[in-house]
Structure 1
Amino acid sequence: MSKQNHAIVKWIVNIGFIIFALIALFPIISLVISSFMPSSELMRNGISFNITMEKLQLDNYTYIFSQAPEYWAWYGNSLIISVVTIVLSLFFSSMVGYALALYNFKGRNFFFILVLFILMVPFEILMLPLFQLMINTQLVDTYFAVILPMVVAPVAVFFFRQYALGLPKELMDAARIDGTTEYGIFFKIMLPLMGPSLAAMAILQGLSSWNNFLWPLLVLRSNDMFTLPIGLATLLTPYGNNYDVLIAGSVMTIIPIIILFIFFQRYFVSGLTVGGVKG
């Protein structure tokens, strides 16, 4: 293929990717535009690209920042739950996946099959016994009720196990000869090598926790403990729908996910691809 033809093909591919990107961004762009419209316009036209410049305003965001303290309480709850869930999930799931991959012990295959079995069971089936457990332990309407069932996620254990299979075992043997403990081998040698997998799973676990709706809806009771998905859902009632505040608040919820992806995106693709091909 000549350089000219190669350049043409490259331009066509780039244009195709741009078109697909715009299609993927269409809901977000329309949501951002609609967040500057008054409620009356949203009720009349819905979410659309039909923009009337003179009707765009900042009232929705002004209300959120100055007259909606409950919104920021929900925001804080979601941040606390998501951050703690990410940290604990990465810590415990990486340890379990690492042990299943690099240690030979009795019952290792059984535990891995058990992880696969739980991975295939829909969470909706597990909710009832988990909810009964939260009642028995008196954790209902607390952060712990939302966080604990997500600490050791089967998908994270499976992912870390697949990634750890590609780590060089020679480093472990060399560290043992130097007198390093097993915990030292994991934290000082192996865990840094798992950096791409940790970054990829941080994004996936953060996104899952931030958008989690059904489980927090079951275990949280008081308004000041609600997370953002539940709190925003309360704005839609049979007596009135605050679509303007709802849409502006939804736009604000995108910011932490964007920040999380910006920090870890350089490792995201490599973490997924390497963890996905190791057997």
Structure 2
Amino acid sequence: MEWIHKRRNRFLSILSLLVVFFFSLFALFPLFALLLASLKPSSELMRFGLNLKLQPELLSLKNYFYLFSEQARLYFEWYKNSLIVTLLYTAISLFLSSMVGYALAIYDFKGKNLILTLVLFVMMIPLEIMMLPLFEEMILFRLIDTYWGVVLPFAVAPFAVFFFRQYAIGLPRELLDAARIDGCSEFGIYLRIMSPLMVPAYGAMAILQAMNSWNNFLWPLVVLRSNEMFTLPIGLAGLLTPYGNNYDILISGSVLAILPIIILFIFFQRYFISGLTLGGVKE
């Protein structure tokens, strides 16, 4: 009976690996098709669309060289803008959202439940409903066509606040009492003692917040005005017009646009799963 049990476990393991492998190929298909299309002339894409047909005689790096030409000079301006906006948004959002979530988890004060309810309520409001008042607010503060106009309205993300709050619930309270006895301030306790314990949560949220900012299209489209200030999603979308489509930049530029998120995930992947798992601790 024991060998039957072992064979069944081995069979289930192999079956699980095959299923994961199949779904991995299914998920990677668009990326591979995009990479292959970036190595082909744009005329091939217009004739046959995205496909996995290998034609070695057509493959070249011509589209990538074109990105560095004078005709495509705005591409790297868009790339720079996206990097700046993503770095600003991710850093500010992690810092402010973690402080709010930490306070809602650790401290007891009047109105705490009301604030938490409002945070959950804001999570359910679509961006389209808040867009007009936020746009008028940006006009009032003269932040139209600036990086801060894109970053500040969503600097404190409701989902990030709730996530950090759930994570901070599981932090050991004994460290708080010991630090207070030693004369450490409340901000010092958060910054020096609790923040290092929340590194997995920071890692998980860094990936999610950076990815949201990097792919954000609608709000930057509303706030930004000049071509030089556009982010990558807006700039690449602008290459598709009724008067012509510049697939040379669009496809190769889209491939390069994926690189920052991949690099970010490689650096923070060890925190991602643990952060999401431990963040599910409930009261």
Rounded Cα–Cα distance in structure 2 between residues aligned with 1:127 and 1:271: 31
Letter of the structure 2 residue corresponding to residue 33 of structure 1 = L
Query: 2:250 matched to 1:234?
Result: no
Rounded Cα–Cα distance in structure 1 between residues aligned with 2:281 and 2:98: 18
Deviation at 1:4, TM superposition (A): 3.0
Rounded Cα–Cα distance in structure 2 between residues aligned with 1:244 and 1:12: 42
Alignment partner of 1:220 out of 215, 220, 224: 224
Map 1:1-279 → 2, pairs under 5 A = 1-67=4-70, 68-279=72-283
Q: Structure 2-normalised TM-score?
A: 0.96
Deviation at 1:58, TM superposition (A): 1.1
Letter of the structure 2 residue corresponding to residue 14 of structure 1 = L
- Contact 2:169 2:281 survives alignment (8 Å): no
- Contact 1:96 1:157 survives alignment (8 Å): yes
Letter of the structure 1 residue corresponding to residue 189 of structure 2 = I
Bigger drift between 109-118 and 218-227 goes to 109-118
The secondary structure found in structure 2 opposite 1:208 is helix
The secondary structure found in structure 2 opposite 1:258 is helix
Bigger drift between 205-214 and 3-12 goes to 3-12
Rounded Cα–Cα distance in structure 1 between residues aligned with 2:114 and 2:47: 58
Letter of the structure 2 residue corresponding to residue 190 of structure 1 = M
Q: How many pairs were matched up?
A: 279
Deviations 1:206-249 (A, max 9, x none): 00000000000000000000000000011111111012320110
- Contact 2:66 2:248 survives alignment (8 Å): no
Q: Percent identity?
A: 61
Gaps of 5+ in 1: none
Q: Structure 1-normalised TM-score?
A: 0.98
- Contact 2:167 2:201 survives alignment (8 Å): yes
How large is the RMSD of aligned CA atoms in angstroms? 1.0
Letter of the structure 2 residue corresponding to residue 234 of structure 1 = G
- Contact 1:78 1:228 survives alignment (8 Å): yes
Rounded Cα–Cα distance in structure 1 between residues aligned with 2:126 and 2:198: 28
Rounded Cα–Cα distance in structure 2 between residues aligned with 1:75 and 1:117: 34
Deviations 1:169-211 (A, max 9, x none): 1110111011111011000110110110000000000000000
Deviation at 1:64, TM superposition (A): 0.4
Deviation at 1:149, TM superposition (A): 1.1
Letter of the structure 1 residue corresponding to residue 54 of structure 2 = I
Gaps of 5+ in 2: none
Deviations 1:48-73 (A, max 9, x none): 11221101121100000233221000
- Contact 2:34 2:50 survives alignment (8 Å): yes
- Contact 1:31 1:251 survives alignment (8 Å): yes
Rounded Cα–Cα distance in structure 1 between residues aligned with 2:246 and 2:74: 14
- Contact 1:30 1:49 survives alignment (8 Å): yes
